[in-house]
Chains A and B, each alone.
Chain A
Amino acid sequence: MSATGLMVFFRRSFLHLESRILQAIGFNNRAVVPALAVQGPGIFPQPHRNEETEEHSFLDNIFWMAAPKKRRTIEINRCRRRNPQKLIQTKTNIEPCSECGNLKQKHVLCGFCYEKVRRETAIIRGQIQAQEGKPLNNPAVETVVLYEGEMPADTDAGKRIVERKRQRPSWFTQY
């Protein structure tokens, strides 16, 4: 081990350390090395062709975007897609309706019964519309729906009467 060799080694290691420190700060050599010792406006960059600089910055932005490093294998994809959190839960609140026997959810009205009532009310509404003729023509009295063979009672004295040509359905109680 000669003295000159040692000196060379120490100098090189010091320079390397310096460059590493500068790199850590963010001062990269590539901007500095081909440097011109010119003063004045010569060293300031000319502001020309904005599209070019924009394109450079656009590419620079892309350079630091997150991107997948490796393709996700089908095994990993299956683990994610099929874990119990993503599978459909079976519902435990389905029961048969006591009126019609179709299935219904416990906290929701039976769909079949609702549909049945909706159809009858649609027909009644159609008849009311026919009676009134034009829109916003309803009289300022109550309405009574009477089915086949029913007479208006004493309490229905001044009310508007809607006739339906069928037997009274069991679910539409009169009183």
Chain B
Amino acid sequence: MAASCVVGLGVSLARGLVRYAEASRLLAPCRVLPQSCIHTTTALEGNKNWERKNRVLHQPQPPEETRRAAEVYHCRRQIKYSKDKMWYLAKMIRGMTIEQAIAQLEFNDKKGAAIIKEVLLEAQEMAVKSHNVEYKSNLYVAESFSGKGQYLKRIRIHGRGMFGIMDKVYCHYFVKLVEGVAPKEEPRTGFDQAKEYVQQLRNRTIIHSL
């Protein structure tokens, strides 16, 4: 009698859980939801967080607040290029308007320049089509950086029977375009950087002390 009661309780609990899961859409395919995901990615897939940033939905703004600038996140994965070499190009276009960035990349001779230019044009099109950007040239590069992709390993034969493991390098490239004019940044002098460093050292707290 007690056992059947317990079983009954367990079944109702399970049903309640399932109903709750369905209500909160836990059991829906995880690629659709930004929150409440069951882990379904394999080791080979990597993080796809940058693509998810475009799906973020902000609360409606009250009328007196200044309009939030439109942001577009775009990336390209597994580019056959070195992340260190790509970094130089990403660093060059940080803070530029999109037209300026495209102009600079067009006349740069590096292999990554053509790839980044394609990514920027794609992102510009995306911005105008689906991110409510009015003028396609009213965008600037807010963030731009490269990351390490998944490498293939090969054997490189040396003399005397020795061998090394050669990496076939791949990289990712990430860019964030924001509508409007880029904020003017004061160039940080070495003295400012030194002051900040000393301040950081002073801000440290000693834990587990009196």
Contact = CB atoms under 8 A, between A and B. Distances in A.
B89 A103 contact: no
B170 to A, nearest CB: 20
A103 B91 contact: no
B136 to A, nearest CB: 16
Contact of B104 (A81, A82, A87, A90): A90
Interface string A101-127: 001010000000000000000000000
Given A94-B104, A105-B107, A81 B84 contact: yes
Contacts of B106: 94, 103
B88 A88 contact: yes
B92 A90 contact: yes
A91 interface: yes
Given A94-B103, A103-B103, A88 B84 contact: no
Contacts of B54: none
A87 B84 CA distance: 12
The B interface is mostly helix, strand or loop, or mixed, namely: helix
Contacts of A87: 88, 91-92
A82 B88 CA distance: 9
Nearest to B92: A88
A82 B193 CA distance: 16
A94 B84 CA distance: 26
Interface in B164-179: none
Contacts of B41: none
B107 A94 contact: yes
Interface in B90-131: 91-92, 103-104, 106-108, 110
A88 B108 contact: yes
B164 to A, nearest CB: 18
A91 B104 contact: yes
Contacts of B84: 81
A72 to B, nearest CB: 15
Contacts of B88: 86-88
A158 to B, nearest CB: 46
Contacts of B103: 94, 103
23 contacts: A81-B84, A82-B91, A86-B88, A87-B88, A87-B91, A88-B88, A88-B89, A88-B91, A88-B92, A88-B108, A88-B110, A90-B92, A90-B104, A91-B104, A91-B107, A91-B108, A94-B103, A94-B104, A94-B106, A103-B103, A103-B106, A103-B107, A105-B107
Given A87-B92, A88-B110, 18 more contacts: A81-B84, A87-B88, A87-B91, A88-B88, A88-B89, A88-B91, A88-B92, A88-B108, A90-B92, A90-B104, A91-B104, A91-B108, A94-B104, A94-B106, A103-B103, A103-B106, A103-B107, A105-B107
Closest 10 CB pairs of A and B: A88-B92, A94-B103, A88-B88, A103-B103, A90-B104, A91-B107, A105-B107, A94-B107, A103-B106, A91-B104
Interface of A: 81-82, 86-88, 90-91, 94, 103, 105
